[in-house]
Amino acid sequence: MCPPEHFGVLYEINPWMHTEVTVDLDKARAQWDGLVRVLRDAGATVDVMDPHPDLPDLVFTANAGIVNGAQFVPARFRHPQRQGETAYDVEWFSARGYQVDELPVDVRHEGAGDALPFGAGLISGYRFRSDAAAHAHVSRLTGAAVRSIELADERLYHLDLTLCPLDERRAIVAPLGWDRYGRRVMEAVVAEPLVLEDDEALAFVANSVVVGSRVVMPSCPPRVGRQLEAWGFEVAVVPVDEFLKAGGGCRCLTLALDVTL
Amino acid sequence: MAAVDVVEIEGHIIDSLTLAKVMDVILAAGADYRVVDVAIGRTNADVSRARIEITAADEDTLDALLAELKVHGANRTDSGDAQLADVERDGVLPPGFYSTTNLPTSVRIEGRWVDVENPEMDCAVVLRADGRARTYPMHRVRIGDRVVVGQDGVRVAPFERPRGASPFEFMTSEVSSEKPKALLVQDVAARITRAKAEGGKVLAVCGPAVIHTGAGPAVARLVGGGWVDVLFAGNGFAAHDIESNVMGTSLGVSLQGGLAADGGHANHLRVINEVRRYGSIEAAVDAGYVDGGVMFECVKRGVPFVLGGSVRDDGPLPDVYTNVVEAADAMRYLVTGVTVAIMLASTLHAIASGNLLPAGVETYCVDINPAVVTKLADRGSHQALGIVTDVGLFIAELADVLC
């Protein structure tokens, strides 16, 4: 994770961002600290990278790249505003002994934000930020099967706003965000889906972090909470609304390092 | 002209339904596809790969579709520019020259697709100094001409049968004697009428059997009525046409009585001899020696004709091209603008004409012998529609409908 020292809505690259909205930095820091605390309570180890004054979105580490054991595939960001992050991400992972394997320069892929491990491989979103053409390269570099899902609603511009894998059979899903082919693929892949209503999806409910049996969520409608508890999960809601101003929730603020594809 | 391109897509395109989606997107855009090849990954981690050829109505539709497909990871396979080589000897093409089809063709020059003018089969493509590309038969190339070699950067639109109500529609086989002729006559007449209305030219290719079967006057009516713009034939057709008008016989047989005339076997020789005395068919017409028939109407109406010679010709008539290469060039010059061709009881001239015509020209081949149409199709004139019937009856009916 990366602390929100220099976080802010300084540009608009998704429908949630409005530069006239002011971020309360103290509140953001308190919310971020709260998220770290809840994750640690759940049993996670949190490594922190240094913030950078020119890179307000560096807090959204989910987009840094794809982690596969000791391999790191850095993102290729769509927008120039975020492309500067990659050098710092690569530096961080290199310093920790990761093997860095890069995607070709002519494709875009925004890391774990658009690639979630599920169903014996990766599910990867495309259209708004990542290119479908990147998926074959991701597959070649990681050795994992990559199923492509076309994202259909610009408000849900990354896959991790539409999908939260819970365990091998279950996932929180937001079909609102997928085209009809993507819906059919996900129906085949997710044995037991917890299907979000459209308004729930737009409240970033799927942008949650799962640590063991704890689901750390930016918000949780009672209906969703009941189903998660019925499945044996505990729900921890952490308000991160300062970050929602930039279009990111709990999941976007984290990058899982314990992933082996 | 239809636009064609090939896209390549790779990834877990089967599991992701991406391949199905790409095909659906192509059809939804009103375009068509052909899967060139698919390589399915063996293991879970292997990616699959597919190449898909897309045919759209025009370049704009294709470009819009390609942009849409790019989103799904399907990218145009880059064939690069066409390779060019210089001609080093007059009438000799560089080795590996691209041999043309009669289909609409374009070549990529410096990243831009240039349509090849005058599609004609078995030719080379020459890029001219003004940036235009056109077909050249082998014997016409000259030192320094730049000729396309290899297959790179060449794209050919697939053959499409004309759509809509037409003989093509109810003809499920290309050649058949078991079709209602009256209906075919009506349809061919409608096609000719429409072609003329659209400013196209009608080409008639005639064999001597047209005269032997008594169809000469009907063809003459068609020419006289302005329904024929170009005529290709041989020495025999013209000679017997003139013989029948001057002497009343065709190859010595009376067209009225059907009996061999006394000494009639020499009639056509005497006619040819007289036309040679005048110097040309036109001169014979002007002098009043020929006062009817197909050639007479051609001269009167100024319809251009090419009479191609052969080794068995008697005479020949002074208008006959005795150099076959020159004959083919003369025909090549006249086929520009032709949109409908009618081949009447002719084998050699029909095939020669078929070789020169772009695939888009509607070609009707009327012959009692289905072999002619088969020969035409075997030589690449797939657009030819065979009408197996007696040419005399067919043309008389056609003239009745049109004139």
Task: Report domain extents, chain A.
Answer: 25-253
Nearest to B173, CA basis, from B161, B158, B189 = B161
Name residues whose C-beta falls within 8 Å of residue B33's C-beta, 6 or more positions apart in sequence: B23, B26, B27, B52, B53, B54, B55
Interface of B with A in 128-147 (CB under 8 A): none
**Residue B218 belongs to a domain with what CATH number?**
3.40.50.10690
Out of A158, A164, A220, A250, pick the active-site residue. Answer: A158
- Burial class of residue B71, CB neighbours in 10 A (0-12, 13-18, 19+): middle
Please check whether residues B337 and B293 belong to one and the same domain: yes
Q: Do B281 and B150 reside in the same domain of the chain? A: no
Total structural domains within chain B: 3
B336–A contact, CB cutoff 8 A: no
What is the domain extent for residue B125? 83-156
CB B133 within 8 A of CB B59: no
Residues of A in contact with B13 (CB under 8 A): 148
Q: Output the domain CATH number for residue B62.
A: 3.30.70.2690
Residue B130 has pLDDT above 90, yes or no: yes
Lowest-pLDDT range of A90-104, B63-77, B206-220? B63-77
Domain boundary among B42, B76, B110: B76
Task: Write down which residue in B128, B156, B184 finishes a domain.
Answer: B156
Q: Rounded distance, CA B159 to CA A5, Å?
A: 65
- Please indicate, yes or no, whether residues B285 and B376 belong to a single structural domain of this protein: yes
Considering the domain architecture, whether residues B315 and B181 belong to the same structural domain is answered as: yes
Class assignment of domain A25-253?
Answer: alpha beta
Whole-number Cα distances in Å, B188 to B110, B349, B382: 43, 20, 17
Contacts of A95 (CB under 8 A, 6+ apart): none
CATH of the domain at B88: 2.40.420.10
Q: Residue B256 CA to chain centroid, in angstroms?
A: 36
- Judgement on whether residues B260 and B344 belong to the same structural domain of the protein: yes
Over the Cα atoms of chain A, what is R_g? 17
How many residues are there in chain B? 403
| Residue B250 and residue B343 share a domain | yes
Closest to B35 in 3D by CA, of B55, B61, B12, B59: B55
Last-in-domain residue among B46, B76, B106: B76
Residue B382 maps to a domain: yes
- Average pLDDT on A96-120 reads 95
Residue B179 has pLDDT above 70, yes or no: no
Q: Could you read off the pLDDT of B289-342 as tens digits, one per residue? A: 999 999 999 999 999 999 999 999 999 999 999 999 999 999 999 999 999 999
- Clarify whether A220 is annotated catalytic: no
Six-digit token string for B315:
């005479």
Instruction: Round the average pLDDT of chain B to a whole number and report it.
Output: 89
Which of B10, B12, B14 best probes binding to A when mutated, by most A CB atoms within 10 angstroms?
B12
User: Do B277 and B328 belong to one domain?
Assistant: yes
Residue of B nearest to A137 (CA): B11
- The verdict on residue B140 lying in a domain is yes
Residues B296 and B361 in one domain: yes
> Rounded to the nearest 5°, which phi and psi values hold at B204?
-110, 130
pLDDT confidence of residue B151: 83
Write out pLDDT tens, residues A41-93.
Answer: 999 999 999 999 999 999 999 999 999 999 999 999 999 999 999 999 999 99
Does ipTM top 0.85?
yes
Report, as an integer, the average pLDDT of A112-122. Answer: 94
Say if B162 falls within a structural domain: no
Any bridge partners for residue A192, and if so which? A170
With respect to residue B342, please indicate whether it lies within any of the assigned structural domains: yes
Query: Using CA atoms, how far apart are residues A239 and A34, in angstroms rounded to an integer?
Result: 8
- How much is the pLDDT for B171? 42
- Listed in order, strand segments (DSSP E) in B137-283 are 146-149, 154-156, 175-176, 201-206, 230-234, 249-250, 253-254
Binary contact (B71, A126; C-beta < 8 A): yes
Kindly tell me if the per-residue pLDDT of B173 is higher than 80.
Answer: no
Same domain, B45 and B122: no
**Do residue B53 and residue B180 come from a single domain?**
no
Closest-CA distance of chain A to residue B2, Å:
27
Q: What is the DSSP string of A18-41?
A: -TTSPP-HHHHHHHHHHHHHHHHH
- What confidence category does residue B380 fall into, taking pLDDT thresholds of 50, 70 and 90? low
Is residue B233 located within the same domain as residue B367?
yes
Please tell me whether residues B228 and B332 are part of one structural domain. Answer: yes
Q: Hey, are the CB atoms on B45 and A139 less than 8 Å from each other? A: yes
| Helix spans in B10-121 (H) | 18-28, 59-71
Active site residue A52: no
B153 pLDDT band, cuts 50/70/90, is confident
In this structure, the number of other CB atoms found within 10 A of the CB of residue A25 comes to 14
Sheet holding B105-109, edge to edge: B83-86, B146-149, B124-127, B133-136, B112-117, B105-109, B154-156
